[in-house]
Amino acid sequence: MECCCTFCFIGVSVLSFLEPFFRILRAGSPSKGWSTTFGGSTSGATIRFNMKLVTRHIPTSIRWSLPVTGWGVSILIHGIIIVLFLVVAPIILPPDAPHETPRTTLESQAEILELEPLTETLTPDSSDLLELMPSAVPPPAMVQVAAPIPPKNETIAALGGSPGGGTARSVVTRPFYPSSFGGISGSSDCICYIIDRSGSMILAEDYVRKELRKAISALSPAQYFQLVFFAGGEPKELQSGSLIRANATHRHKGLNYVNQTGLINVKSKEEAWKGVVNALRRGFEAKTFDGRYAQLFYLFTDGEFDHDQVSMMLQYLQARRQYPATIHVIACGSTENKKFLDTLARENHGRFRFVTDEELCREE
């Protein structure tokens, strides 16, 4: 709108400026002369004047100053009009309406959603963070061995999530192989058998040998194992401080060791619980050549020792590990120790089985 008005004013100004020049062109040049007829009111005669004679008596400077002065005044007036228009027009005239981008029907029907401000600050639970944080101790190094593919995977719930209950500390998933001893099955690639060989185990001696022979013979070459026998004092180990690979040679060595191990009488109650504690410590400290510890324990005993001392030692040993071990307990002898041994197994994520005297003496 503003542009159209500007062009109109400029056009009018140009035409007004050229108007005197057009008059001269239409009438002719004064140097050539022209004639004008005036009508008389009295006689009706036509009086013709020779303008050339009239203009001859007017000075030349005055003759040309008249149209030049008109042009100058016209330029001044129109210049003032143009300046006023350019200054006042933007104030008086309304601004152009904003141009709207064409929209589709779907866009026109769409609604703009506004984000609502947060009304509260969410803070994570510190207990959840502790469960999600990885342990500071790095897992044992794993090496590749020539072994068959594991038949399955199993997840170990450390301090919880197992039949024994408890509070979960962390979870580890590793390949495992099945195992069995004393009627309790388990699965792990690193196994330790802790066997009571005190004199009170006289009725279970043959049963223990038979179960150990079955368990060792069923091990896979990809598994590692250790045998620890206790009867007061220092325990006896198949391989001191080591978990050995269950290949044919080591399995044969383990079977011979089982056949050669006999019972020993314990002199005192203190010597009895010290024997159990030392055997558990040796079993927890045994490791493979690449630094892995036993994850599954089988404890066979009649429970004739100080229960509190053994329970405290197990709590201490489990707390030192990155992933607490699973301890299955097979018991025999007096039923007075049955409750404690059952609790011991559940507190260490294992299962408990009591073997009666009749089963111990049964021949197969």
The answer to whether 204 touches 179, Cβ cutoff 8 Å, is no
CATH number at residue 230: 3.40.50.410
Per-residue confidence in pLDDT tens, the chain, 364 aa = 555 555 565 665 666 656 655 555 555 444 444 444 444 444 444 444 444 444 455 555 555 555 666 667 777 877 787 777 777 666 766 565 555 666 666 556 656 666 566 555 555 454 544 444 444 444 444 444 444 444 444 444 433 334 444 444 444 455 568 999 999 999 999 999 999 999 999 999 999 999 999 999 999 999 999 999 999 889 999 999 999 999 999 999 999 999 998 899 998 889 999 999 999 999 999 999 999 999 999 999 999 999 999 999 999 999 999 889 999 999 999 999 999 999 999 999 999 999 999 999 886 6
122 is a domain residue:
no
Which pTM value belongs to this model? 0.55
Task: Residue count of the chain, please give it.
Answer: 364
103 is a domain residue:
no
d(CA 216, CA 144): 23
48: containing domain? 2-92
Domain count, the chain: 2
57 is a domain residue:
yes
186 is a domain residue:
yes
CA contacts within 13 A on the Cβ side of 116: 3
129-132 long-range contacts (CB < 8 A, ≥24 apart) are: 131/168, 131/170
Contacts of 162 by beta carbon, 8 Å cutoff, 6+ apart: 156, 326, 349, 350
- Scan for tokens 């699965």, then name that residue: 187
What pLDDT does 72 receive?
Answer: 74
20 is a domain residue:
yes
Q: Are residues 218 and 352 in the same domain?
A: yes
76 is a domain residue:
yes
- In three-state secondary structure terms, 38 is strand
Q: Are residues 76 and 162 in the same domain?
A: no
- Scan for tokens 């030349």, then name that residue: 60
Residue that finishes a domain, picked among 92, 116, 141: 92
Q: Are residues 58 and 185 in the same domain?
A: no
User: What is the DSSP track for 161-175?
Assistant: SSTT-----EEEEEE
129 is a domain residue:
no
Q: Are residues 80 and 189 in the same domain?
A: no
Q: What is the CA radius of gyration of the chain?
A: 58
